Amino acid sequence: MFPEIVKLKLEDEINGFERTILERLFYSFDSIEKEAIYKRKAYFESKAKNFKPDTDEEACIEEDAYFEEINHICIEQKLKQEFLNSTATWLFHLFERQKKRVLGSDKTDILKPKLAADGYSLDTCQDWLNLNNELRLAANAIKHGPESKAAKDLTIKFPKLVNGSNVQIEKSDIERYISSLKIFWEKALNGKVVL
């Protein structure tokens, strides 16, 4: 395999992932508040058309409309968080598949000496630590739940990624992991003539 071709394929995969997640799918959550306001107005309009003065109370209608709006926001924000957490898991699995395909393994104890022979120390590489420690723990905590060893380790090592007992990945974390993935592969394949 020629490293330049491998680099291009990896770059295409990572850029495609980034484009799909951050430029297409993530923006679908931008209109949550607008949608909630619309739901509140639609509730009012529906009640106005069917208002029964003998049984309907205006204060109750106002309150119910408010809860329509708040309920929509709560549900959509939870879905947004699930999407971000799932994205972290997808990204980690992409990293694992790439390591297996390009380097022949996804196991650190195999990769460390292999890359060290080329002058690339994983122990001092912040991008490797972002991906193989932080992202790996987050992905495993998301998959295995708040009682898992990964969740407990994540809470201790990366408390900023945990809210209560839930993993809470932010868009900025996804952007940072994608950047680390790009830099990792650039360094890992730097100067290679043949793989």
Q: Tens of pLDDT along 33-89? A: 999 999 989 987 888 788 787 887 887 888 888 999 999 999 999 999 999 999 999
d(CA 31, CA 11): 31
| Per-residue b or e along 3-36, where b marks 16 or more CB atoms closer than 10 Å to that residue's CB | beebbeebeebbeebbeebeeeebeebeebeeeb
| Tens digits of residue pLDDT in 116-169 | 988 889 999 999 999 999 999 999 999 999 999 999 999 999 999 999 999 999
Q: How many CB atoms lie within 10 A of CB 80?
A: 16
Residues 6 or more apart whose Cβ sits within 8 Å of residue 22:
171, 174, 175, 178
Return the domain boundaries, the chain. Answer: 3-188
Say what the pTM is: 0.86
Burial class (CB in 10 A: 0-12, 13-18, 19+), 146: middle
Residue holding tokens 């680099």?
Answer: 7
